[in-house]
Amino acid sequence: MFRFRLESVLNYRKTIEENLLKELSELRRQLSLEEDRLKMMIFEKDSHINDLGSLQKGGITLQIEDIKLYFSYLNGLELKIKNHGDIIKKCRERVDKKLAEVVNAMKNRKILEVIKERGY
């Protein structure tokens, strides 16, 4: 009966691949959460801009200090959005790096599986 001498190596490579897939899944989940946070920030900014426009169109007179405060808040929110975009970019880079590791692990596993199938 054929006994594959590298079975333990194959099992080890399968374990590595499974662990990398779990890590990739977690990184993708984190990326999704960060993208959702960014969408909420953008929605909040747009909502406040629309509110300000509605107040102006509604004939409500605003004091200059109120308008300055509103724009200061919107500028701060815009800065948070920009910074969060950088966070998302870093998350995407981590996902891409982990994906490359997963692909490499799959290749290593498949090489041994082909060797096993051929009966070496």
What band does 1 get if pLDDT is binned at 50, 70 and 90?
low
Q: Mind listing the pLDDT tens digit for each residue in 87-118?
A: 999 999 999 999 999 999 999 999 999 999 88
Q: Mind listing the pLDDT tens digit for each residue in 27-56?
A: 999 999 999 999 999 999 999 999 888 877
Exposed/middle/buried for residue 37 (C-beta within 10 Å: 0-12, 13-18, 19+): middle
Higher pLDDT, 108 or 119: 108
Domain ranges of the chain: 7-114
Whole-prediction pTM value?
A: 0.81
Task: Classify residue 82 by its DSSP letter.
Answer: H
| CATH tag, 7-114 | 1.10.287
CA dihedral 76, 80, 83, 88 (to 10 degrees): -160
- % residues pLDDT > 70 (the chain): 98
